[in-house]
Amino acid sequence: MLPEFGSLGEQVTGFLTEADELLRPELESWAEGFCFIAGVDEVGRGPLAGPVVAAAVVFPRGVPWPRVNDSKQLSEGERLRLRDEIYAVPGVQVAVAEAGVEEIDRLNILNATHLAMRRAVLQLKKVDFILVDGRPVKNLPFPSKALVKGDARSASIAAASIVAKVHRDALMEELDTRYPGYGFAAHKGYGTRSHLESLKRLGVTPVHRRSFRPVREILSPPAEQPEFGF
């Protein structure tokens, strides 16, 4: 039998209950004997600029959890509201960590993402099992289970996706004030047409990922092919 999530959560509209499919991974982990289940997710693998950010969230049992969702399915206002609700849960543990541009260029984006995830988990005071979004992550400090599209399957991972997204968006808005003209506040570092045009016009900043091809080709343009006349 799956452990009871908490009668209060079942009675309050707007909170998850044990009947919600989004709680199944946590309920199954509790049933296996684990107590502190950390959901881990990242944001920022694809952009041409800025760090990759990971978050880890451990919700306690027996208290209502916010009705979270995959951050990509939420508006900015919804993410901000849910971020505040996540932090307001009594006894919740939340950690955020980054891997910077230099680490991304040195380690590659996959390894840098895993580094940020490990950093986030290591900040938590109590954790004995990890639910991680996507594919398995090597060298995590606790037993883990990888869930493809986990931010749509696990409440803890969904909460981590919201925290990570809000944190990174704020970072990119700050970078927009430091490096005006690139539009970081609008596209958050992704390779939009306007971002690529700004890169070509203004050049590469210290917060651009030099190992990513569009940036690398501006720094070292490919040699022109010779033209042969016949």
Q: Are 133 and 161 in contact (CB under 8 A)?
A: yes
pLDDT in tens, 127-142: 999 999 999 998 899 9
Provide CB contacts within 8 A for 208, sequence distance 6+: 48, 49, 101, 199, 215
Residue 132 dihedral angles phi and psi, to the nearest 5°: -115, 140
Q: Of 98, 133, 90, 89, nearest to 119 (Cα)?
A: 98
pLDDT in tens, 184-199: 999 999 999 999 999 9
pLDDT in tens, 204-225: 999 999 999 999 999 987 656 5
pLDDT in tens, 16-58: 887 789 999 999 999 999 999 999 999 999 999 999 999 999 9
Amino acid at position 38, single letter: A
How far apart CA 63 and CA 175 sit, in angstroms, is 37
Mean pLDDT of 162-171: 98
Provide CB contacts within 8 A for 179, sequence distance 6+: 205, 207
Residue 143 has pLDDT above 90, yes or no: yes
**pTM for the model:** 0.90
How far apart CA 17 and CA 34 sit, in angstroms, is 19
How far apart CA 192 and CA 71 sit, in angstroms, is 20
Q: Name beta bridge partners: 61.
A: none
